[in-house]
Amino acid sequence: MKQPILLSTPTMHTEEQCYIREAFEKNWIAPLGFNCDSFEEEVCRYLGQPLHGVSLVSGTAALHLALKLAGVKRGDIVLCSDLTFAATVNAVLYEGGIPVFVDSERDTWNMDPVALEKAFERYPQAKAVMLVQLYGTPAKMDDILAICRAHGAVLIEDAAEALSATYRGQQCGTFGDYNVLSFNGNKIITTSGGGMLVTKDKAARDKAFFWATQSRENEYWYEHKEVGYNYRLSNVCAGIGRGQLLHIEEHKAAKKAIYERYKAGLADLPVQMNPYADGDEPNFWLSCITIDPSCAVDPISVLEALREENIESRPLWKPMHLQPVFAQYDMVYTEEAAVSADLFRRGLCLPSDIKMSASEQQRVIDCIKSCF
């Protein structure tokens, strides 16, 4: 059996252990604590704006609290990126909201501003927009922000995959009224699991913290006037995040080098790399390809060939409007058929683990080329 090449796994350093050791030495293992406080401050400082963060057990928890802060209640319409992971939409349903899916555009694979405007024409009462920065590539933020403002909608930026990516010099995770980050094990930095809600609104941050700590009132006894959640990140996991954050730029540089090697190595094939706009800087979290529609090769045959070589790959996210659990909800697109569905049919995520050597990546490239 050949050595496995994995899609994207954590890359650990020595600083993480220092912060974890300090938590053990101070016997501060449970949720809350100095690592949580410092991690929130350090992430907000990295994002480069006056922001307030609350560290949570997952990006999904952050999405849920963002929707509560946005005032989404049962029956409210939320316009959502169609090409994403199900967690984005699950959070809408937690609050009884009604998701309406908005198609992708081909320039970045993100939410299409033209389709978003069309969605508002169909649903002028939409309460919020849930925008996903897909695979760490910035969306067309100027257009999307203008549309949200024009319709008075709250923007929730799901930047779970996009920490360190920039749109015209501004960090992803800073554009929304409420912004969500993920530190899952496969992300550009990790806390093993975890996420963060980020906002410019200090009162909103404090309300999210209140909900995340079981909505406990400031009394000597346990007093609760609202439903709460057990969503706080542990002090140990936050220590991992603090150590990881010190290395985020080198992780990003390594991801970009992987993308560029794929781009060069696959240049003579009928495939295209996941695109991004001039002036933007993705974090290149996952390198992806789409196969030319005129080609007889399909993504699953490439995936199976890679699997035979003990190489992990994965189809693009299956669009939400094609998921059986969401079949009842509307989908808005501008072309004759959904762009998101076309990308899914033709797309594949390639190994993007920053511990992958150049020679291992050449194994991946050679295997893909053999399929053509």
pLDDT digits (tens, 9 = 90+) for 121-152: 999 999 999 999 999 999 999 999 999 999 99
- Same domain as 184, residue 49: yes
- Same domain as 301, residue 221: no
pLDDT tens digits along 274-314: 999 999 999 999 999 999 999 999 999 999 999 999 999 99
Phi, psi for residue 311 in degrees, rounded to 5: -115, 125
DSSP string, 182-243: E--TTSSS-SSS-EEEEES-HHHHHHHHHHHBTTB-SSSS--BSS---B-BPBHHHHHHHHH
Look at residue 4 and tell me if it is in a domain: no
- Same domain as 200, residue 68: yes
Query: What single-letter DSSP state applies at residue 322?
Result: G
pLDDT tens digits along 60-88: 999 999 999 999 999 999 999 999 999 99
Kindly tell me if the per-residue pLDDT of 30 is higher than 90: no
- Same domain as 38, residue 160: yes
Confidence of residue 26 (pLDDT cuts 50, 70, 90): very high
- Same domain as 189, residue 321: no
Look at residue 7 and tell me if it is in a domain: no
Look at residue 5 and tell me if it is in a domain: no
Residues 79-105 have a mean pLDDT of 98
Could you tell me which of 8, 10, 6, 7 has the C-alpha nearest to residue 191? 10
Residues 190-209 have a mean pLDDT of 97
> To the nearest whole percent, how much of the chain has pLDDT over 90?
98
- Same domain as 207, residue 118: yes
Estimate to the nearest angstrom the gap between the alpha carbon of 302 and the chain centroid: 25
CA angle 225, 226, 228 (to 5 degrees): 130
- Same domain as 28, residue 156: yes
For residue 157, the model assigns a pLDDT of 98
68: tokens are: 């509560």
Look at residue 329 and tell me if it is in a domain: yes
User: How many domains, the chain?
Assistant: 2
Domain closes at, from 245, 272, 306: 245
Range of the domain at 356: 248-370
Look at residue 1 and tell me if it is in a domain: no
- Same domain as 64, residue 156: yes
- Same domain as 179, residue 51: yes
Confidence of residue 51 (pLDDT cuts 50, 70, 90): very high
- Same domain as 226, residue 254: no
pLDDT tens digits along 146-157: 999 999 999 999
* Dihedral of the alpha carbons of 22, 59, 40, 230, in degrees to the nearest 10: -70
Domain closes at, from 193, 225, 245: 245
**CATH for 204:** 3.40.640.10
Cα(234)–Cα(213) distance, rounded to whole angstroms?
12
Confidence of residue 345 (pLDDT cuts 50, 70, 90): very high
Look at residue 6 and tell me if it is in a domain: no
**CATH for 320:** 3.90.1150.10
Kindly tell me if the per-residue pLDDT of 10 is higher than 90: yes
> To the nearest whole percent, how much of the chain has pLDDT over 70?
100
For residue 53, the model assigns a pLDDT of 98
Estimate to the nearest angstrom the gap between the alpha carbon of 161 and the chain centroid: 3
Confidence of residue 1 (pLDDT cuts 50, 70, 90): confident
In this predicted structure, which of 27-36, 132-141, 172-181, 207-216 has the lowest mean pLDDT? Answer: 27-36
Look at residue 227 and tell me if it is in a domain: yes
- Same domain as 263, residue 213: no
For residue 207, the model assigns a pLDDT of 98
Share the mean pLDDT of the chain. 97
For residue 32, the model assigns a pLDDT of 85
Could you tell me which of 282, 268, 300, 280 has the C-alpha nearest to residue 352? 282
Cα(306)–Cα(297) distance, rounded to whole angstroms?
14
| Contact by Cβ (8 Å): 125, 153 | no
- Same domain as 116, residue 220: yes
Domain closes at, from 188, 217, 245: 245
Query: What single-letter DSSP state applies at residue 166?
Result: E
Confidence of residue 31 (pLDDT cuts 50, 70, 90): confident
CA angle 19, 23, 28 (to 5 degrees): 150
User: What count of residues does the chain have?
Assistant: 372
Look at residue 43 and tell me if it is in a domain: yes
Kindly tell me if the per-residue pLDDT of 172 is higher than 80: yes
- The DSSP bridge partners found for residue 101 are 80, 331
Strand 154-158: give its sheet, edge to edge: 52-56, 195-199, 178-182, 154-158, 128-132, 77-81, 98-102, 331-332
pTM: 0.96
Pairing verdict, β 314-315 and 331-332:
unpaired
Kindly tell me if the per-residue pLDDT of 228 is higher than 80: yes
